[in-house]
Amino acid sequence: MKYNNPVIKGFYPDPSVCKVGDTYYLVCSSFQYFPGVPLFESKDLVNWKQIGHCLTRKSQVQLDKINSSGGVFAPTIRYNNGRFYMTTTNDTTHQHFYVWTDDIYGEWSEPIYVDQSGIDPSLFFEDNKTYFMSNGIDDYGVSGIVQCEIDIESGEKLTPSKTIWTGSGGRYLESPHMYKINGKYYLVAAEGGTEYGHMVTYARADSLYGKFEGYENNPVLTNRNLGGYEVQGVGHGDLIQDNYGN
C-alpha cells in the first residue's frame, strides 16, 4: 500500500489506537478545544474517518478559562469486555479521568476520576483486573512511570501507586502504555520532551511490576537531532497488531 504522511491532516497530536475485530479506533489530544478528544476509525491504519468526539458535554470536562496548550492531554483508547475506555488528563485542573461507552458511535459516560499524579494516563486489563498508569510521583516519593490497580467501576485505587520504570535517561518521561506479548510485559513510553528531542523508548519485564529493563538500543523511534525532516517531534507511540499478525 502506498500512502502519504500525514495520514490524518490537521491538528491531531498524541495518537492512541486500539483494534476491535477488523477495525482500528484512534483518539488524539484536544487541549483547550471543545468538543474534546476527536475519535476516528479505519480498516487499514491509513484511511481514517472521524466518527465523533469522546467529550461532548460540558459535564465531562472543565475547560473554562483554559489557556492555550492547557486542558486535555494525551488520551489513551482501550477496549475490554465489550466496552471502550478513553482515559486522559485535564492538565489545567490536574485531574486524571476516564469515560466509557458500549457504543462507539454513541455518547460516552460521565468522567470517572483516579487520584494519581502526573499526566498521560493509560489502562491495562488482565485477569479481570484493571491497572492504571501515568507519569508522575508515586506514593513513596519516587518519580517515573507510576502504576496502581483500580476498581474500573469507580476509579478507586485498590493498591498504592508505585513507580515501575524510571526511563532510559531522557527528560520528561511520559506517555506509558503496557502490553503483554508472548508472556512478557512491554512498557512503551516517550522521553525527551514534546519537541525536537522527542523519542519512543521501551522496557520489558517478566511481571507487571517489573523489574523493567530498558531496551539496549533505545530509542526505538525518533527523528531527534535530524533538523529539516518533514516529520519531526516524533515521540508518543502506541503498539497495535494488524489482521496479519504484524
pLDDT in tens, 167-187: 999 999 999 999 999 999 999
Cα 17 to Cα 23, 46, 112, 168, 175, distances in angstroms: 10, 12, 21, 24, 13
Secondary structure (DSSP) of 83-111: EEEEEEEETTTTEEEEEEES-TTS-----
Name the catalytic one among 91, 120, 138, 174: 174
pLDDT score recorded for residue 229 = 78
Phi-psi region of 152 (alpha: psi -120 to 50; beta: other; left: phi over 0): alpha
Least confident of 5-9, 16-20, 110-114: 5-9
174 classed as catalytic: yes
Report the C-alpha gap between 159 and 135 in whole angstroms: 17
Domains with residue ranges and CATH for the chain = 1-114 (2.115.10.20), 124-144+168-239 (no CATH)
pLDDT score recorded for residue 218 = 96
pLDDT score recorded for residue 212 = 98
Do the Cβ atoms of 237 and 188 come closer than 8 Å? yes
The CA angle 114-89-54, to the nearest 5 degrees, is 100
User: Facing residues of 181 across strands?
Assistant: 184
Do the Cβ atoms of 25 and 18 come closer than 8 Å? yes
Residue 107 confidence class, pLDDT cut points 50, 70, 90: very high
Name the catalytic one among 14, 91, 120, 138: 14
Report the C-alpha gap between 235 and 221 in whole angstroms: 7
Pairing of strands 199-205, 184-191: antiparallel
pLDDT tens across 38-53, in order?
999 999 999 999 999 9
> Cα torsion for 142, 208, 116, 28, to the nearest 10°?
120
Do the Cβ atoms of 111 and 60 come closer than 8 Å? yes
Average pLDDT, the chain: 95
44 classed as catalytic: no
Query: Nearest 5°: phi and psi at 58?
Result: -60, -25
pLDDT tens across 127-142, in order?
999 999 999 999 999 9
Do the Cβ atoms of 89 and 121 come closer than 8 Å? yes
Phi-psi region of 49 (alpha: psi -120 to 50; beta: other; left: phi over 0): beta
Report the pLDDT averaged over residues 89-96.
Answer: 94
pLDDT score recorded for residue 236 = 87
How many other CB atoms are there within 10 angstroms of residue 15's CB atom?
A: 20
Give me the percent of the chain exceeding a pLDDT of 90.
Answer: 85
Query: Nearest 5°: phi and psi at 110?
Result: -70, 155
Residue 99 confidence (pLDDT) above 80:
yes
Residue 35 confidence class, pLDDT cut points 50, 70, 90: very high
Least confident of 53-67, 92-106, 112-126, 215-229: 215-229
Do the Cβ atoms of 165 and 189 come closer than 8 Å? yes
Task: Specify the pTM.
Answer: 0.96
